[in-house]
Structure 1
């Protein structure tokens, strides 16, 4: 014979103030836990969606980022001639030889500078990134000191708006357009003509190459050809994999920090839940004795108090998750540990995070309510009735 769930819920409602205070503590812990997961997911999604699965990126062997990489013109020409590279509608190879440089720009409304990625691309660069769309103005003209800025850059940095000018590389550059990269990492970049940027920064080689294969299944063969060619010192990666690897260090840091905070806060929340349930047991000895006298067994009492604690935790978890969901409407920026440039991203909530968060709430409720439930179950009928 089980104690009805409706009876358990009414007990929580009868102690509304205590229930609300305990649930609030649990909600705070769940909020922290959920936002950490959303932060990690948002960062991962931003960097993974930066790359296209069908694209391949070539960088210098052992380089961890494009900023650290170098591809000289001879090697670039050799790699560009590989027969596995796809041809465009005009019969030209789908290759973009690119230059990546870090510059420091001042943020709007403050004197605080931050690093920004300047990417030099050729005429194929935009075609190879279908997620990137011009949202205002026009594309830069090859051979001109013109640039286009990502949506995030234009909002946050002085001089990066359309029609404004930026000075770097001993030149003045005019922002002639803005582009939207679908919340990917490219939104935090400024693009210009690769040859002009190489001249401005006195570079003799490129930073990387982005290309598309005629058949995606040829990747392993292409990779082997590039990395075994004695004339080359290049490493081939799928573009999506490359940008996913960029998030690894930052994601690890966020995960460790978030896990540490969640553990510390959850200990406090579970102690609070245990105190609440102990007080509930102490105030309901007569009720426990009556239930035992009516024929409910010790395991029924144990299950009822555990269910009460877990129901309390789920209520707090739902509130915390609800507040965390509003974080999706905010955007933040941080430093990419690989390129040391500013990266804008948003929080992401999905079904997996919801499930993990609610499970975390149930675990806190179970741990916090277990000992009080055991105490209630061990009460003897006579002692419980006498104490009442």
Structure 2
């Protein structure tokens, strides 16, 4: 004979103040846990969506970022002449030779500087990234000191708005357009003509090459050809894989920090839930004795109090998850550990995070409620009724 769930829920409602306070503590822990997962997912999504799966990125062998990479013009010419590269509508190779440098810009409304990525691209650079689209102004002209800025950069940094000017590389550059990159990492970059940026920064080579292979060409064959060529010291990766790898160091740090905080907070919340359930058992001795006298077995009492603790935790978990969901409407920035540049991102909530968060809250309920439930189940009928 099972104790009805409605009866268990009414017991929680009868102690509304205690239930609310305990649920609030659990909600705080769940909020921290959920936001950490959302932060990790948001960063991972931002960096993964930066790259296109069909694009191939060529960088210097063993370089972990484009800032660390270097491709001289002779090697770039060898790669550009590879027959596997797909031709564009005009017959020219679908290839962008790119240079990446870091500059320091001041944020709007403050003198606090931060590193920003300046990316020099070839004419095919925008075509190879369909997620990047101009939303205001126009494209920069090849051979001119003109740049276009990501929407995130334009909002946060002085001089990066359309029509404004930035000075770097001993030149003054005019922002002639703004682009939106679909919440990818490119939103945190400024783009210009690769040749002009190389001249301004006195670069003799490129940082990377982005290309697209022909339909019949295989990535593995192209990769082997590039990496086995004795004239080259380069390696080829899918662009999406390259940017996904960029997120690993930052995701690991966030996961460790978030897990540590969640464990510390969850211990306190679990103790709070246990105290609440112990108090419930102490105040309901006569009720427990009556239930046992009515024929409910020890395992029914154990299950009822454990279910009560889990319902309490689930209520706190739902509240914490609800508050965490509002984080999706905020945007933040952090430092990309690979390039040491500022990276804008947003928190992202998905079904997997919802399931993990609710399971985490239920786990706290089970851990916090098991010993009090066990104590209630072990009470003898006579002793419980006598204590009443």
TM-score > 0.5 by shorter chain: yes
Q: 1:24 aligned to 2:33? A: no
Q: Which residue of 1 aligns with 2:369?
A: 369
Matched with 2:103 is 103
- The residue number in structure 2 matching 1:214 is 214
Q: What's the CA shift for 1:233?
A: 0.4
Per the alignment, in what secondary structure is the counterpart of residue 17 of structure 1? helix
Distance 1:83 1:12 in 2: 72
Tell whether the 8 Å contact from 1:298 to 1:378 is kept in structure 2 after alignment. yes
Aligned to 1:201: 201
- Paired residue secondary structure (2:70): coil
Distance in 1 between the 2:30 and 2:217 partners?
44
Q: Give, in whole Å, the separation in 1 of the partners of 2:82 and 2:27.
A: 57
Once residues 300 and 41 of structure 1 are traced to their aligned partners in structure 2, the CA distance between those partners, rounded to angstroms, is 41
Secondary structure of 1:247's match?
helix
What whole-Å deviation, never above 9, does each CA across 1:8-58 have from its counterpart, x for those lacking one? 000000000000000000000000000000000000000000000000000
Structure 2, gaps ≥5 residues long:
none
**Structure 1, unpaired ranges of 5+:** none
Partner of 2:280: 280
State the distance in 2 between where 1:63 and 1:109 align.
Answer: 36
Q: Which residue of 1 aligns with 2:35?
A: 35
Alignment partner of 1:33: what SS? helix
* Residues 1:185 and 2:201 aligned together: no
Distance 1:370 1:67 in 2: 54
* Distance (Å, rounded) in 2 between the aligned partners of 1:241 and 1:215: 20
CA drift at 1:216: 7.6
Matched, 1:120 2:120: yes
| Deviation (angstroms), 1:83 | 1.1
1:84-117 deviations in Å (ceiling 9; x for gaps): 1111111110000000000000000000000000
CA separation in 2, counterparts of 1:45 and 1:368? Answer: 35
Structure 2 residue aligned with 1:338? 338
Cα gap change, 1:345 to 1:118, in 2 (>3 Å)? same
Secondary structure of the structure 2 residue equivalent to 1:131: coil
CA distance in 2, matches of 1:300, 1:179: 62
CA displacement 1:143-184 (0-9 Å, x = unmatched): 000000000000000000000000000000000000000000
Contact 1:54–1:216 (8 Å) recurs in 2: no
Q: Hey, what's the Cα distance between the residues in 1 that align with 2:189 and 2:53?
A: 20
1: CA distance, partners of 2:217 / 2:315: 49
CA distance in structure 2 between the aligned counterparts of 1:21 and 1:285, rounded to whole angstroms = 23
Q: Which residue of 1 aligns with 2:224?
A: 224
- Residue of structure 1 equivalent to 2:302: 302
Q: Distance in 2 between matches of 1:325 and 1:163?
A: 36
What TM-score results when the alignment is normalised by the length of structure 1?
1.00
SS in 1 for 2:110: coil
Asked if the contact 1:39–1:348 (Cα under 8 Å) also holds between the matched residues in 2, the reply is yes
Bigger mean CA offset, 242-251 vs 216-225: 216-225
Give the whole-Å Cα distance in 2 for the aligned partners of 1:80 and 1:30: 52
Determine whether 1:245 maps to 2:250: no
Deviations 1:236-293 (A, max 9, x none): 0000000000000000000000000000000000000000000000000000000000
Query: How many residue pairs get matched?
Result: 388
- The structural deviation recorded for 1:209 is 0.1
Distance 1:104 1:216, change over 3 A: farther
Determine the C-alpha separation between the residues in 2 that align with 1:285 and 1:101: 71
1:215, distance to aligned residue in structure 2 (A)? 2.8
What is residue 347 of structure 2 aligned with on the other side?
Answer: 347
The answer to whether the Cα contact below 8 Å between 2:84 and 2:217 also exists between their aligned partners in 1 is no
Q: In 1, Cα distance between the equivalents of 2:210 and 2:329?
A: 33
Per the TM alignment, residue 217 of structure 1 is displaced from its structure 2 partner at its CA by 6.2
Q: TM-score, normalised to structure 2's length?
A: 1.00
> How far apart in 2 are the matches of 1:85 and 1:290?
81
